[in-house]
Amino acid sequence: MRIALKFAYDGQKFDGYARQPNRKTVEGELLNALITQGFIDGAKTSCFRSASRTDKGVSALGNVIAVNTDTSKERVIQELKEKIPHIFVYGIQNVDSDFYPRYAKLRIYRYYLENKGFVVDDVLSAAAIFTGEHNFKNFARVEEGKNPKRTIDAIVVSDENKFLVFDFYAQNYLWNQIRRLISSIEKVGLKKLTNKHLSDALNDPEKKVDFGLSPAEPLILKDIVYDFGFEYNKNTEQRLCDFERAIISSLSSEKL
């Protein structure tokens, strides 16, 4: 039987997501918990797979893993929900034997940008430049052989206290893409760049420019969407709200 698990984590408490020797990572802690509880024997035999390997410092409210196990999903969720410090496992579902969580319909990322007195209309117009399909070579760290074209379905911006909150909607992203987009948008808001600078960098990707990289800590993987739903624990929505508030409240002015 193959199951998918949905979980949240505070990325500031780990040395990144992907498991590494002698490092405390999100993937490593999840894998160790599954093995310790006797749900799987190891990563290889269980076909352990992750949906998104977030950068060091990046948190999540809805990342997903999948494993093969002989244990019922009811027992798995019951045993894991309070077992792993700084990780909240809250959703589970039986999936097809060939399910690979990386192939999702939609990924939603959220970024908390400290509001430094921006003119919100300037920020909104800058963000709108990036929606649709573009070559993001100048706005990402593009690995060799990887297609730099991506489609951003929408960028929704809201004003919440001392932050402007950006929600990005797309099927997939390039490495560091959102953090580079935020850095560019912030510079427009601070009058250090214009919308034309951003448009030119998109339309002429072979002319290399670098508008900077925003910090990782205010970035959260909000959710990953598939063509099926997850079974959730009681009070999950409130727990996730509390989890998100704790992540944001721990951001120091130095990190922002």
- Would you please indicate which residues are annotated as catalytic (active-site) residues? 55
The CA angle 48-49-50, to the nearest 5 degrees, is: 135
What are the φ and ψ backbone dihedral angles of 34, each rounded to 5 degrees?
Answer: -65, -40
In this structure, what token pair is assigned to residue 177?
């893409």
Q: Report residue 137 as tokens.
A: 């070579």
Question: What is the rounded radius of gyration, in angstroms, for the C-alpha atoms of the chain?
Answer: 19
Query: Whole-angstrom Cα distance, residue 51 to residue 10?
Result: 17
Report d(CA 182, CA 112) in Å as an integer.
10
- Beta strand 49-50 with 59-68 is antiparallel
If one counts every other C-beta atom within 10 angstroms of the C-beta of residue 64, the result is 26
